[in-house]
Structure formats: C-alpha cells, structure tokens
Structure 1
Amino acid sequence: MALLDLILNAWGSFQLFPLTVQISLVLAIPFVYNIVWQFVYSLRKDRVPLVFYWVPWVGSAVAYGMQPYDFFESCREKYGDVFAFVLLGRVMTVYLGPKGHEFVFNSKLQDVSAEEAYKHLTTPVFGEGVIYDCPNHRLMEQKKFAKNALTTNSFRKYVPVIQTEILDYFVTSPNFDMKHNNKGTANVMVTQPEMTIFTASRSLMGEQMRKKFDASFAGLYSDLDKGFTPINFVFPQLPLPLYRRRDLAQQKISRTYMELIKERRKTGDIVPGRDLIDSLMTSSTYKDGVKMTDQEIANLLIGVLMGGQHTSAATSAWFLLHLADKPELQEDIYKEVTSVLAPKGGNINDLSYEDLQDMPLVNNTIKETLRMHMPLHSIFRKVMNPLVVPGTTYVVPKGHHVLVSPGYAQTNDRWFPNAGDFNPKRWSEQSTSASSNDDTVDYGFGAVSKGVSSPYLPFGGGRHRCIGEQFAYVQLGTILATFVYNLKWSLKAGTEVPEPDYQSMVTLPQEPAEITWEKRETCVV
C-alpha cells in the first residue's frame, strides 16, 4: 500500500511540471537508468566486462550489425577475449578464439540451448516441428534421417547430375546464354543462388521436384534468408514487407513439397533411396515410434535445401569473385582439372566424385573461401543454467546468451598469417584438421569430432555441427571445376572484390558483384 501511495504521489508531482519538462524527463530517465545500471553491473566481479553503450535497449546493435568482426576486434583490444554487449535488449556474452569455440560448442545441453536461441527465428522460415522447433533429441534424429541422402554412393550419383544442371544453366540463363554468346557479364548474386538451388534440388530432391523449381525459387529462398536478421532475433513477427515476403515464400515452397508428397502417397510411387523425399517418407520414424507428419517432412525439406543452398550460393559467389581477381590462380586450377581428367580423354563431362578427391587446389580454394567468408558470422546459444567461464570468476546468468564467432578467428592474423589475403595454397602448407582431438562422438546422426578448439570451424561444431559439409564440397567442387574448364573470367573493369554485406546473418558480397567471362577453347557448351 505504501508503495502504491508513493507511485501516486510521484505521478501527481510529475503532472505539476510543464509539458516540456515532462517530455525531457521521459526521454532522460531511461538514459540515466541505463548508465546507472551499467555502473552497477561493472562493480560485479562475477560478470564479464560489458561494452559501454549510450542508447537504452539498442545497445551495440548498430556497430555489431554493420561490421561484426571489426566490432569484436575493437572490444577485444579493450576488454580481452571475453566480454558482453547489449543487442536489442539481450545481453550477449562473447568468447573469441578457439577457447571460446570450446566453451560454447562443448557446453552441456542442459546449460545452453540452440533451440531457445533460434526457434523464434527459424520456425517462421522452416515451419513447425522441425530443426529448432522441437526438442534437441528430435533434431538429432531428423539429422540422421536426412543423412541417409548424404552417403558416398549418393555423392557419386550427384556429381554428373550437378554438372548437367550447371551446363544447362550456361545455356538457359540470360547471364550466360552460351549458345549465342562467347563472352558476357554475369551478376554472381543472381547466377549463384539460381545455380545452387537447381543443383541442390536436382541432386537431393530428385528430378520430379527439380521440374517444379524455376528461377523464382531462388528468389523465394532469398526471401527466407532475409528472415535471419538481427531485428528478427528480437521481433520475429513484425508487420513489415520483409516478414510478409518471408511468410509467403515459406508457404509457397511448403505447398510445392506437399504437392509431390501427396502425389506419391496417392499413387504409391515411393522408392526408398531414390531421393531425400522418398527417404524421409519411408524412414522418418523416431525411436519412440512417433512418425514425422507429411507437413513436417515438407518443413524439414525446406531446412535441408536451404542449408545446402544459401551456404553454397554465398561460397561459390565469393570464390568466383576472388578468382576473377587472381587470373594466375584461375589458370593453376584449370591445369589441375585438365590434368586429372587427361587419363579419361580430358573432357569435363567425365568428371566423377573420385576426380574431385584428386583436386587439392579445387578443394583448398573452397576451404580458403569458407575461411574468409564463413556464411554465418555469429552463432548463439541461450543460457539455461548459470554458466562459469573456465579459468575466470565470471558467471553468465541464466537467460543471457553466449555468442561465438569462428569467422572472426578465421579472418584474424593471430591464427592465419596475412588473413586478409585470399591464398588457397596456404592449406597445402599447414594442417587442415578441424581439431587436435581425434576423439569422436555420435549424437545420433553419425560420428563427429569432439574437439572444437581449432580456429577453423566453418561448419560449426558439437551436436549442432552441419551435416552437409561433404555435400557442400561435392556441389562446390563440381561448380568450380565446371566453371574453370569452360570459362575464363575477370572482375568487371574498374571494380574490386566487393566488401561483405552483414545485414543478414548470411555473409554475402555487396552488390554490384559482377564478373566478365569468355569461353575457353575447351568449352563444351
């Protein structure tokens, strides 16, 4: 009662002030409270250093969102490898470098949760019941279901299929139209999303689904990508055009999958192992006997294809741009590809999965691209129980978030000399092991390395490590080998390799991102 009287008296006193004073107080009080709160926070010895900020709630969102790696480095210079910053009302505890990778990726499941960190972001994009919109043990089994389409035998079948799609694209895309043009200009932020959606859908989902996909589906997946922005992290359901496009894209893609699933159910045309769709329709029963619904299968297909599309689209766009800037490296790759193919007669049409394994420069170019341009610049977990930072007195409270950034380490001179130089040949001179620890653990979808203390983790680590790493190398290797065998390309006159665009969680080149190309004498189109 006394508290209520105090509030009423304060309100009465507030109303006695002139309007201009009232407005000033309303504006000033949050700022004063914010500074006082930060001062009190700084006195606690059990909290990591907090990056100072002026604007309440917004915190360091602008600096982080524009240039995350530069922001991390400036904070590290002032506070060390462990610090916290406020991101749109959330307190994010950052631990940079390999020790940070170990701290976050190997934290116990009961202490940190990817599901709680991401489900409000991912559920509108993928749909209900899959990925992070389900308990962790369900996600581990879903990964196992999807992994059935990611075997070595599958990869052997995928290479010629992927290559056929690329060669068809060289003919049908207005950026190439190679039946009529011997040279031209291509915008890689148009060509690579389209090319990767076609190659991934044809190889993973089968010919029937590929026929349902046209160039507009690359745009739909781009609209889904834009559902992963910092503002979505806090407000996943704002009435904005961006959100409406995301939702419409999800609905259209989901309907497309459901049409084929229903058709196969109706006709009984289900062949185990034919493609990922049939694989999930026949082998997606959880250990407790519960079966995935057809809608959940469709939603999981969205997530699988998106994982294979946006990573490969960004990575292939980046390596085309970097190689356009390094014609001598482009020629070295060409020599490697033709040398491997020579015993077969030297034709790219004979490219096989085994050939890709014998092309170290091709694979190292992919590896170097992923080093410089890790698709996700930040990886979050929500803290479910107070979490002690090893070797310190710091405790991350329940409800806060922890953030790790392998991409920061991968682009830092502390771990990679001349980190700003695109140099695939560096990988032939040093170990490429993802960890110094060879022990493995199986979370239900196959054995992965326990150790995550490497500075190079482009596919993440721990139980949430991406299962599509090998497929990515198959898809990207086929794209690179087919490009370099058929084309020479360079940057458009007067341009340089674009700077990264960090507006989305997926790191893309800023536009314009164009190359000029011409056919090689070995071109088969």
Structure 2
Amino acid sequence: MAQELLTLTGAAGSFSPFQLAAMLGVFALLSMFVARVLSSKFPGSKPPIFEGTPFVGGLMKFAGGPWRLMEEGYAKLGDAFTVPVAHKRVTFLIGPDVAPHFFKATDEELSQTEVYNFNVPTFGKGVVYDVDQKTRTEQFRFFTEALKKDRLAKYVPQFVAEAESYFSRWDESGVVDLKEEFARLVALTAARTLLGREIREQLFDEVADLLHDLDDGMRPISVFFPYLPTSYHKKRDQARAGLGRIFAKVIQARRASSKKEEDVLQQFCDARYQNVCGGRQLTEDEITGLLIAVLFAGQHTSSITSAWTGYEMVSSKTRGPKSPYHAAVAEQQAILKKHGSALNFDVLGEMETLHLNIQEALRMHPPLLLVMRYVKQPFSVTTSQGKTYNIPVGDILAASPNFAHMLPTVFKDPAVYEPARFLPPREEDKAKPFSYLGFGGGRHACIGQNFAYLQIKSIWSVMLRNFDFEMLDPVPAPDYDSMVIGPKPARIRYTRRKLAA
C-alpha cells in the first residue's frame, strides 16, 4: 500500500493544479458516498437507515409525502428508523412502544425551538419560539389561565350564540361542504372569544383578510426557509404588521377603559409576568403574537375536527338505529327532556356520547400529521419487536399521531369509526401510555383541548337539534398536501327540523 501511495504521489507531479483539485474532489465525493452507504447498511446502535440513493434518497422520499414514507419505512423497518435529509437526520418514532420519551421529555432533553422556529415570522418576535424557555413557560401560563374552567364556562354562551346565528341563515334544506362551513363559523367564534368583541363587531372582515394572508404564508417550504423572499412570505409579513397596528389600538383602548370583557384578549391585557421580565405587563406586540399563536393552534383544529366529526358521524347512519349518529341524536333528545333548550357549560358536560364521537373523529383524523422535536440529550428506545436503539444528539425526531392511530396493534379495526372503543371494558386508548394522541400528550399536550371540545360540542348540539343530515358522498380522504390535515371536498345534505324531547 505504501508503495502504491508513493507511486500515486510521484505521478501527481504530471497533473496541473486544476486537475489535481478535480481528482481530489471526485475522491472526496466517492469517499462520502461509500461512507454514507456503509453507515446505512451498518448503523450500529442507531435506528436503521431508510434512504435508498445516498444523499438524495431521503429528500425524494419526503417529496413523495410523509404518509407514504412512513408506510414504507414502518413496513420495512418497524417502529424506529432514520431518514437522512441532506446534512440532517430525521428519526421517526411510530407507536406507543417508542413514544414515551418523546412526549415526556423536558425541553432540555428534547427541544421544540429548533424545529418550530419557522413560526417566528408568523407569530412575531418576542413570543413562543422566539424566547427562552423560562419566558415561554410564563407565556403558556397566560394561555392556561385564560382557559380555566371558570373562564370556559363564560365562553360557552358565545359559542352557542354564534352557532345559532350562523345556522339561522341556512335554508330549509341544502347541500354544503362541512369543511368550508366550519372554517367560517369557527372563525366567528374565535373572533368573539379569543380576539375580542371589538374585532368581531367592527373589524372582523379586515382582520379575517389579514389572517388569511398570514395563514397563506405558511407553506411547506416555509418550514425550511421561513425568510425566503417569496410573494407569499411578503404578504405574510405585511399582514403581521397590519394586525399589529389594529390590535395595538384595541389594546390601548381596553387598558384605558374600566370595562372588562369576557375573552382571551382581556386576560392577556391584564396578565403580568411573574418570574421573568421584571413582572411587567405584556406589550401590545406580545399580546398580538400570543393571540395569533392561540388562534392558529385552535381555529384550524376546531374547524377541521368539527368537519371530520360530521362526516364520520353522519356516514354511520347506514348502520341502523344504534349507529353513532342516532346515539348522538338520542342523547340530545334526552338532554332536551331534562334541561329544556339550555346549552351551557354544565349541560355540555353531560354529553358523553357526543364527546366520544368527537374523540373518535380525532383518533382517525388528528390535525397534525407530524409533531417534531430536536434531540439535545441522547436516549434509547425499545421497539415493539424488542430491539433497542440509541438516538443521538442532533437528530430531529418525528412522531405521527395519524399513523400511530391506524396501527391495528394499537386500535382494533382502526379504519372503522367506533366511538365505543373508548368505553369499558375495551378502553383501547388506555392499553399503553400514549396510545391516543388526538390532542398530543405529555408535557406539550394541547392546553386548549377543553376549549376545543366545548366549542365543537356547542356547534354540533345546535346542529343536531335543528337539522337532519345525509351524506351524498363517501367520507372524504384526508388532504395530506395541507399543513393541517383536513378533509378533501365532500357533499352533505341538511334538512331543517326541530328535535323534540
């Protein structure tokens, strides 16, 4: 070998510097290629590699869609596998056997910031993913306090009023797309309970247009290049600035007034930091950013889950009088007999059947296809096949509630809409921790899930009491091209009728 090296070194003198540089470049690329192939075939204690063609295979698999990637990777390699994407490693952890640490770990162990900071241009500076962990914890406390039980009870009449007003404009019968209808209705309820009375009554159209541009600026490419100078990003930035100006005036007027409103905006106006920022009030721009964050977290989730609940529930009518749909209607009749037409926090709390129907829709159709973390401290997982893998620092972790909920090893007949699976003695969601992730789980479970359930139950209570429904199309397929996984277009017929006790 030494002789061959000397021969090559001697021969190098016959090449020009450019030729030598080119040869060294080719040699380096070949070395990297061989190293990548060897690391793929012999990952050691790390999860197995799912890539195909080195360097470009992972990117091509992502381009084909995360769902297809997970189907192929899970079928071939099981619960845990890694997809190299350029210079990064994305490690998928699928199912409850490998999920616990993902959902229970502290932010010092698995961080959200590195994978979700693409939201900063949308939410704004100084909030959520643009602040340190202590400040973010305080800001999440503001959310939690705004969504306590006593606060939620005051939001319910606003949910009901908006729903009754909206559906009073429907004809005696008609055909609608639930996704479109709920997008409009939930925007109205969100404006009333989150953004404030002033926005709902005076500035709704203007704010709705700006929020649309803000939302439209959240494209798949934004995850990797949030500041790319595209037309969508330019309109996003203009919309964020416009919202800041509008809310600054509303907040100033609120703080100058002695009147207190029953909405999340008021809670943010009155809130103060406790352990950071010297105990000061939130700035106008911080309040705007937090309102945008809670709106993005809640509005899409509620509107899409309302639509999925309707499509799955109404489609079940074909099963006969014991179907989930008929059970929900019967429950409304019983509630009407007991409480009359009242719809408040306590009455909604008695609607177990409707709650289970929503929960099952969330099992089948969680809004987020992937949730992610950045590994700051190494850890190990043991798969359902008994294999143990070490997850290194620097990996990006990806878990999929959607995919995990469709595993027959977790839920029996997972493609069947069956709300009774959550009841004793089955309780399939409790077989293993983190089997059910409709609103996430662990340290970062959605703090607005009670708000969402009340909102959706309010809407569907009004609908079931005033209309009968019939599906004209099959249950629609999920739209995996969207950032939030909603249903593709589908038609449903409504017929007005008054439900009797």
TM-score by length of 1: 0.82
Structure 1's 358 and 194: CA in aligned 2 closer, same or farther, altered over 3 A?
same
> CA offsets, 1:194-246, max 9 Å, x none?
11121122123432232245357556545544555542221112222332343
Instruction: Tell me what 2:351 maps to.
Output: 359
Aligned-partner Cα distance in 1 for 2:70–2:22? 47
Give the conservation status (yes or no) of the 8 Å contact 2:37–2:54: no
Give the conservation status (yes or no) of the 8 Å contact 1:159–1:474: yes
Structure 1's 109 and 367: CA in aligned 2 closer, same or farther, altered over 3 A?
same
Instruction: Tell me what 1:440 maps to.
Output: none
Aligned-partner Cα distance in 1 for 2:184–2:445? 26
Aligned-partner Cα distance in 2 for 1:165–1:218? 16
The counterpart of 1:306, out of the listed 284, 287, 296, is 296
Q: State which drifts further: 249-258 or 107-116.
A: 249-258
Alignment partner of 1:375: what SS?
coil
Structure 1's 264 and 326: CA in aligned 2 closer, same or farther, altered over 3 A?
same
Aligned-partner Cα distance in 1 for 2:16–2:327? 76
- One-letter amino acid of the counterpart of residue 81, structure 1: D
Instruction: Tell me what 1:404 maps to.
Output: 399
Give the conservation status (yes or no) of the 8 Å contact 2:434–2:441: no
Q: Does 1:499 align with 2:499?
A: no
Alignment partner of 1:60: what SS?
helix
Instruction: Tell me what 1:519 maps to.
Output: 496
Shift of 1:392: 6.1
Shift of 1:45: 0.9
Aligned-partner Cα distance in 2 for 1:498–1:483? 20
Structure 1's 156 and 319: CA in aligned 2 closer, same or farther, altered over 3 A?
same
Q: Does 1:185 align with 2:181?
A: no
Question: For 1:45-194, what aligned pairs fall within 5 Å after superposition?
Answer: 45-54=44-53, 56-57=55-56, 59-61=57-59, 63-64=61-62, 67-87=65-85, 89-119=87-117, 121-171=118-168, 177-178=169-170, 181-194=171-184
Aligned-partner Cα distance in 1 for 2:460–2:379? 44
- One-letter amino acid of the counterpart of residue 114, structure 1: Q
Q: Does 1:12 align with 2:4?
A: no
Instruction: Tell me what 2:327 maps to.
Output: 332
Instruction: Tell me what 2:445 maps to.
Output: 465
Structure 1's 249 and 458: CA in aligned 2 closer, same or farther, altered over 3 A?
farther
Shift of 1:363: 0.1
> CA offsets, 1:64-95, max 9 Å, x none?
46553443232122112111013465311111
Alignment partner of 1:513: what SS?
coil
Instruction: Tell me what 1:448 maps to.
Output: none
Aligned-partner Cα distance in 2 for 1:95–1:502? 19
Instruction: Tell me what 1:385 maps to.
Output: 377
Aligned-partner Cα distance in 2 for 1:304–1:315? 16
Alignment partner of 1:342: what SS?
helix
> CA offsets, 1:482-504, max 9 Å, x none?
11111122233xx3221111223
Structure 1's 374 and 66: CA in aligned 2 closer, same or farther, altered over 3 A?
farther
Instruction: Tell me what 2:320 maps to.
Output: none
Aligned-partner Cα distance in 2 for 1:32–1:187? 55
Instruction: Tell me what 2:274 maps to.
Output: 286
Structure 1's 329 and 108: CA in aligned 2 closer, same or farther, altered over 3 A?
closer
The counterpart of 1:247, out of the listed 234, 237, 240, is 237
Give the conservation status (yes or no) of the 8 Å contact 2:471–2:492: yes
Structure 1's 31 and 509: CA in aligned 2 closer, same or farther, altered over 3 A?
farther
Percent same amino acid at aligned positions?
29
Structure 1's 245 and 62: CA in aligned 2 closer, same or farther, altered over 3 A?
farther
Aligned-partner Cα distance in 2 for 1:318–1:385? 38
TM-score by length of 2: 0.86
Instruction: Tell me what 2:38 maps to.
Output: 39
Aligned-partner Cα distance in 1 for 2:355–2:203? 29
Give the conservation status (yes or no) of the 8 Å contact 2:192–2:200: yes
For structure 2, list consecutive stretches of 5 or more residues without a partner in the other structure: 1-8, 318-322
Instruction: Tell me what 1:268 maps to.
Output: 257
Shift of 1:474: 0.5
The counterpart of 1:480, out of the listed 448, 455, 460, is 460
Instruction: Tell me what 2:411 maps to.
Output: 416
Give the conservation status (yes or no) of the 8 Å contact 1:96–1:408: yes
Give the conservation status (yes or no) of the 8 Å contact 2:192–2:263: no
- One-letter amino acid of the counterpart of residue 497, structure 2: R
Shift of 1:148: 1.8
For structure 1, list consecutive stretches of 5 or more residues without a partner in the other structure: 18-24, 172-176, 437-451
- One-letter amino acid of the counterpart of residue 313, structure 2: L
Aligned-partner Cα distance in 2 for 1:9–1:234? 42
- One-letter amino acid of the counterpart of residue 379, structure 1: V
Aligned-partner Cα distance in 2 for 1:270–1:202? 16
Structure 1's 354 and 431: CA in aligned 2 closer, same or farther, altered over 3 A?
farther
- One-letter amino acid of the counterpart of residue 355, structure 1: V
> CA offsets, 1:167-205, max 9 Å, x none?
21124xxxxx33xx2111222232111111211221234
- One-letter amino acid of the counterpart of residue 282, structure 1: D
Alignment partner of 1:129: what SS?
coil
Shift of 1:63: 4.1
Structure 1's 518 and 464: CA in aligned 2 closer, same or farther, altered over 3 A?
same
Give the conservation status (yes or no) of the 8 Å contact 2:155–2:263: no
Instruction: Tell me what 1:297 maps to.
Output: 287
Instruction: Tell me what 1:319 maps to.
Output: 309
Shift of 1:329: 3.4
Structure 1's 32 and 491: CA in aligned 2 closer, same or farther, altered over 3 A?
farther
Alignment partner of 1:500: what SS?
coil
- One-letter amino acid of the counterpart of residue 517, structure 1: Y
Alignment partner of 1:100: what SS?
coil
Instruction: Tell me what 1:344 maps to.
Output: 339
- One-letter amino acid of the counterpart of residue 53, structure 2: W
Question: For 1:177-256, what aligned pairs fall within 5 Å after superposition?
Answer: 177-178=169-170, 181-214=171-204, 217=207, 220-221=210-211, 223-256=213-246
Alignment partner of 2:129: what SS?
coil
Structure 1's 203 and 407: CA in aligned 2 closer, same or farther, altered over 3 A?
same
Aligned-partner Cα distance in 2 for 1:393–1:418? 28
> CA offsets, 1:269-302, max 9 Å, x none?
463x732222222222231324332211110011
Alignment partner of 1:509: what SS?
coil
Aligned-partner Cα distance in 2 for 1:66–1:482? 41
Shift of 1:251: 3.1
